[in-house]
């Protein structure tokens, strides 16, 4: 019976031993599982999109490289090495290409030693788990600075008198590239600001005689340079505005409505600018909430619409914002939007006065050809 009692006492101890073994096994399993999870999360860098090179394959140009796309444990650090390859491009990983001493950044200036070769960049990605290297595609064969397609280094230019009947001469500018380089020309007629150009049919020489249709316009010349490697084009800056016959001022342009527009620079000191008209919208101001549109037109004392005139506008007293000076358009007009302020009077039978000044840039503020006008807009509740 005593033996039986001892056996009964040993049973709980056996249970404890069994339970402990189970817990230990569970801990081992958890540790192994946890370690496995960490192993999956950690990884050597792996390239998923190769590095790329951009830039012109010509001596003297700058090439730039990207790292490409990579996966792996972050952070990943990158190192660059530019390599010089044979004309075949070498192996895709660049391993048979020669490393270029000191060329270890993401950009590289192509040197004379690279002429006739092709270039790659090898990018090495490194992290705590290891490193891997990927190479870009090879560039085109590097051309010498004096070879390849024409390259413009100085724009074409135009010289000559800007009046009807005069002859203009075009200079092709300066070009590099494989010699010989030949040039062809196309004259362009543009608006007074050098835009909206059209080709002048048959005008393909380096000289052009101005005609009536050029009055009030500007000219440009397009030059196409060609050699055995290809072609490129460049366009000159615009000329000044062409003056016509018939006694019109320099830069005169006939507008669609039949009026003649001239630049402010064509108003002589013997004439003046005139603030020809000022209109308000709304014509009667009933609210401080909405801006007031002020439409101003400037002519000179001869009746020409004047463009590029500076116009100053201010309420007196100052009960609206004062806009910055602007320039008149081709038809001599400019529109300002002024915002009434808190003290702008809204009363029946009342008006607010505005001072308008039209002047030419560079003129003496107290002299010159400036024109002035006081106008007013009605207010009402």
Of the pLDDT bands very low, low, confident and very high (cuts 50, 70, 90), residue 261 is: very high
Q: Is the pLDDT of residue 158 over 50?
A: yes
**pLDDT reading at 8 higher than 60:** no
CATH topology agreement for domains 46-135 and 151-235: yes
Output the average pLDDT for the chain.
88
Specify the CATH number of the domain 255-379: 2.60.40.10
- Domain 151-235 grouped into CATH 1.10.40.30: no
In the prediction, which pLDDT does 44 show? 96
Q: What is the pLDDT of residue 3?
A: 46
* pLDDT over 50 (residue 32): no
Sign of CA dihedral 242, 248, 250, 251: negative
> Is the pLDDT reported for residue 336 higher than 50?
yes
Give residue 56's pLDDT: 85
**Domain boundaries in the chain?**
1-41, 46-135, 151-235, 255-379
pLDDT in tens, 343-355: 999 999 999 999 9
Percent of the chain beyond pLDDT 70?
88
Long-range contacts of the stretch 191-196 (C-beta < 8 A, 24+): 191/217, 191/218, 192/216, 192/217, 192/218, 192/241, 192/251, 192/253, 192/263, 192/307, 192/330, 193/218, 193/238, 194/218, 194/220, 194/237, 194/238
Mean pLDDT of 326-337: 97
pLDDT at 108 over 80: yes
pTM for the predicted model, two decimal places? 0.40
Least confident of 100-104, 110-114, 223-227: 110-114
Q: What is the CATH code of the structural domain delimited by 46-135? A: 2.60.40.2700
162-202 pLDDT, tens digit each: 888 889 999 999 998 888 899 999 999 998 889 999 999 99
């Amino acid at each position: 019976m005593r033996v039986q009692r001892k056996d009964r006492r040993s049973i709980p101890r056996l249970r404890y031993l069994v339970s402990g073994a189970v817990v230990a096994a569970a801990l081992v399993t958890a540790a192994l599982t946890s370690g496995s999870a960490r192993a999956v999360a950690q990884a050597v860098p792996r390239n998923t999109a190769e590095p790329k090179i951009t830039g012109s394959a010509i001596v003297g140009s700058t090439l730039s490289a990207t790292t490409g796309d990579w996966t792996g444990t972050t952070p990943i650090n990158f190192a660059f090495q530019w390599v010089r390859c044979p004309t075949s491009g070498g192996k895709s990983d660049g391993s048979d290409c020669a490393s270029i001493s000191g060329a270890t950044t993401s950009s590289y200036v192509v040197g004379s030693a690279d002429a006739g070769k092709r270039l790659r960049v090898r990018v090495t990605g490194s992290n705590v788990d290891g490193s891997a290297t990927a190479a870009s595609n090879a560039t085109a064969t590097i051309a010498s600075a004096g070879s390849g397609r024409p390259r413009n280094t100085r724009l074409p230019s135009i010289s000559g008198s800007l009046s009807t009947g005069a002859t203009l001469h075009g200079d092709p500018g300066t070009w590099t590239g494989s010699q010989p380089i030949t040039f062809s020309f196309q004259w362009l007629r543009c608006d007074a600001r050098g835009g909206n150009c059209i080709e002048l049919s048959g005008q393909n020489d380096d000289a052009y005689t101005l005609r009536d249709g050029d009055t009030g316009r500007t000219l440009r010349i397009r030059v196409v340079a060609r050699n055995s490697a290809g072609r490129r084009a460049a366009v000159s800056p615009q000329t000044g505005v062409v003056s016509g016959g018939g006694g019109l001022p320099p830069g005169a342009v006939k507008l669609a409505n039949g009026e003649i527009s001239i630049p402010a620079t064509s108003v002589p000191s013997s004439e003046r600018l005139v603030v020809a008209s000022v209109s308000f919208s709304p014509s009667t101001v009933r609210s401080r909430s909405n801006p007031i549109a002020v439409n101003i037109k400037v002519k000179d004392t001869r009746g020409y619409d004047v463009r590029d005139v500076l116009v100053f506008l201010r309420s007196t007293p100052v009960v609206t914002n004062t806009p910055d000076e602007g320039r008149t358009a081709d038809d001599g007009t400019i529109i300002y939007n002024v915002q009434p302020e808190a003290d702008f009077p809204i009363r029946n039978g009342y008006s607010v006065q505005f001072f308008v000044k039209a002047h030419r840039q560079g003129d003496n503020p107290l002299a010159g050809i400036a024109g002035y006008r006081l106008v007013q807009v009605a207010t009402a509740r």
